[in-house]
Structure 1
Amino acid sequence: MDANLRFWRAEGQSFFQRFLLWADALDPLLLLKSSIKQAFVLSLSSVHPDTDKIIPVLFRPPAFMPITLPLVIISSVQREAKPSFFWQFVFHTYTAAFSLINGNGTPKAEEYSLQQKQIFLGLGAVSYSACVGALPLISVNRYMLKSPLMQLVVRKLLPAPLFGLTSAFTVAMVRSPEFDNGIEVMDRNGKVVGVSKKAGEKAVMETALSRAVLFGTTFLLPEVLMYCVQRARFVKNPRALGPVRMFVVMSVLAGMLPVSFSMFPQCGEIKRADLEPEILSSTEETEFFYNRGI
């Protein structure tokens, strides 16, 4: 078992423990640091716990917020279908690549065919998610839905669940080889005892759910808060609403990132009864562990 995964297993048992660890590991300044004092946090944020390889800088957890924040803001203010599709395509392309790079390897699959499959699934998932995200604006423009109620539903309320669902869908698609081919499971001593499709499915579904919560909340909560700000007239100058909105989105995303990453343990646990018979026949262990990925 990788040293980082051992640490997550020992120190990340509770949500609060995981939240504090992620709050440190998600610091964007870690991308610029290399001091010995920060060595362990740097390891958590830059070394893949499944492969032990260095994660490319743009796809490390500390880079997630600086890259996704402007994409979230731009996507949320679009009023035309074509620009909305483009920016959502860029957004989902990055999050799909992030999920793929920070997922698990699939030992049973041939590397070349697996890469082809993941590229195909990724492009399909990204294109589909961008189309679904732009669909409300297409409907508004095509069918001339000008009533205040329809404008409220389509422009303010609908994007949040759509972004949440499409984000989860993208994770599930690009990491689907994990539940098709399985991921490694380990005993309490860190010894690999087999490859489990059920553990792979559990890892992918947990990550997809956390991503849905992250972006669903990031799109919904700022709309609610901005409605309250405008209703209470806290901001007198209409020109100031734009910067206020950007600050609110940034605050919500910054708060939700460690929350969503902490929803499930990084070193996931799966019971003996939930594993395949071929794994159970080779060991008497009752508890098994796997890398969930992010």
Structure 2
Amino acid sequence: MEPNVRFWITERQSFIQRLRQWTELLEPTNLFISVAKIEKLRQLLLTNEEASVHDLGDQRMREAWRRSLATVHPDSSKLIPVPFRPAALLLFTTPMVFLSMVPGKSLKSMILPQLSFWSYSAAFNITNGNASYHRHPYESVLLGAGAVASTTFFALFPHLFLIKYELKSTLLRRTLPVVILAHVSAMNVLASRSLETTRGIEVMNKEGQVIGYSRRAGAKAVRDTATSRAVLFGTSALIPEVFANFYKRTPLFRRYPQSLWTLKLSCTVLVMGLMAPVSFSMFPNIERIQCSKLEEEIQSATEDTELFYNRGV
């Protein structure tokens, strides 16, 4: 069985335990580890299949699990490209979220930040999604292009609306882009991983044996990931806006108005740093599902009452 799958199946972690785990997996050092070291640590996991999952007290074994979970895709057992590893999400999306929330004066000034953000998000979602279903490389490219085009259009809509119409309500001017960002973040996941819901993903028993392909499991995997992404980006955009609203009422802002953007950027970095492990921990990476909730052909193929599938990140 793939070590990463074995870890998430065996370790029945609570939300707090997953939060602690993701705090380690999101360390920037996971971006710079060499391929040779990853392979060496993975070999340690493969040669200790029985006791290694529970032997987290061993420092070397703990490092092997951390590096493997942070760099290797559980479905394909291939290395995740460095720009799309979970630890890279903060480095790339934090400035993009900040720039996407900056009020634009024209369409041209807004296209590049939005296009960059949603292009990276789509690539990240496809790379870290479930990879057990059948697909061709060109399908991923077309799916990603469609996801980028649609989400960029919907993300630009509130900004264009605010440029054309002068809204009197300050609350609406501040909250509309945040609400749209949260919803479009979920939409980006749904669009870029839509093949999982139409073709089905692998479901397996506790020994890792594949029982079949389930569209219902695929739909739940995509839906849960979309929820976690909406929480991540929605909260990361909302809290800086709230702080900025209070800061504008202070004498410091009237004396140094340029400091507003420094405050918002710092706040965005802080909130995303705190929210990233929280959002990734909302649902287990390998989720459990009752066999009775799956398709009839899967129910008839096994006597197990509980099956497992890779939700993705």
The two structures have a TM-score, normalised by structure 2, of 0.86
1:255 corresponds to? 274
Distance 2:222 2:263 in 1: 35
Q: Is the partner of 1:23 in helix, strand or coil?
A: helix
Partners of 1:269 and 1:288 within 8 A in 2: yes
Distance 2:139 2:189 in 1: 14
Partners of 2:287 and 2:308 within 8 A in 1: yes
CA shift for structure 1 position 32: 2.1
Distance 1:66 1:138 in 2: 28
Partners of 1:85 and 1:133 within 8 A in 2: no
The two structures have a TM-score, normalised by structure 1, of 0.91
Distance 1:60 1:147, change over 3 A: closer
Distance 2:244 2:139 in 1: 42
Distance 1:193 1:91 in 2: 37
2:166 is matched with which residue: 135, 146, 162? 146
CA shift for structure 1 position 147: 4.7
Tell me the amino acid that sits aligned with residue 125 of structure 1.
A
1:105 corresponds to? 131
* Residue-by-residue CA offset, 1:116-150 (whole Å, 9 max, x unaligned): 333223222211211221112222333xx33542x
2:148 corresponds to? 126
Q: Is the partner of 1:268 in helix, strand or coil?
A: strand
Distance 1:12 1:227, change over 3 A: farther
Distance 2:179 2:241 in 1: 13
Alignment size in residue pairs: 286
2:7 corresponds to? 7
Deviates more, 1:130-139 or 1:282-291: 130-139
Partners of 1:218 and 1:252 within 8 A in 2: yes
2:76 is matched with which residue: 51, 56, 64? 51
Structure 2: stretches of 5+ with no match in the other structure:
42-59
Partners of 1:167 and 1:208 within 8 A in 2: yes
Taking only aligned residues, the RMSD between alpha carbons, in angstroms, comes to 1.9
Structure 1: stretches of 5+ with no match in the other structure:
none
Deviates more, 1:208-217 or 1:29-38: 29-38
Distance 1:148 1:223, change over 3 A: same
CA shift for structure 1 position 215: 0.8
Residue 226 (1) aligns with residue 226 (2): no
Partners of 1:207 and 1:293 within 8 A in 2: yes
Residue 28 (1) aligns with residue 54 (2): no
Residue 198 (1) aligns with residue 224 (2): no
Equivalent residues in 2 for 1:183-194, closer than 5 Å: 183-194=201-212
Deviates more, 1:219-228 or 1:15-24: 219-228
Deviates more, 1:51-60 or 1:5-14: 5-14
Distance 1:58 1:275, change over 3 A: same
Distance 1:12 1:254 in 2: 25
Residue 136 (1) aligns with residue 158 (2): yes
Distance 2:127 2:277 in 1: 19
Q: Is the partner of 1:61 in helix, strand or coil?
A: coil
1:167 is matched with which residue: 172, 185, 190? 185
Q: Is the partner of 2:87 in helix, strand or coil?
A: helix
Distance 1:229 1:12 in 2: 43
2:114 corresponds to? 88
2:257 corresponds to? 238
Partners of 1:81 and 1:135 within 8 A in 2: no
CA shift for structure 1 position 197: 1.0
Distance 1:174 1:288 in 2: 25
Distance 1:188 1:39 in 2: 22
**Percentage of matched positions with identical amino acids:** 41
Distance 2:112 2:83 in 1: 20
Tell me the amino acid that sits aligned with residue 138 of structure 2.
Q
Distance 1:124 1:101 in 2: 16
Q: Is the partner of 1:211 in helix, strand or coil?
A: helix
Q: Is the partner of 1:231 in helix, strand or coil?
A: coil
Could you say which structure has the greater relative contact order, defined with CA pairs below 8 angstroms and 6 or more residues apart? 1
CA shift for structure 1 position 232: 4.5
2:196 corresponds to? 178
Distance 2:234 2:167 in 1: 25
Distance 2:31 2:64 in 1: 12
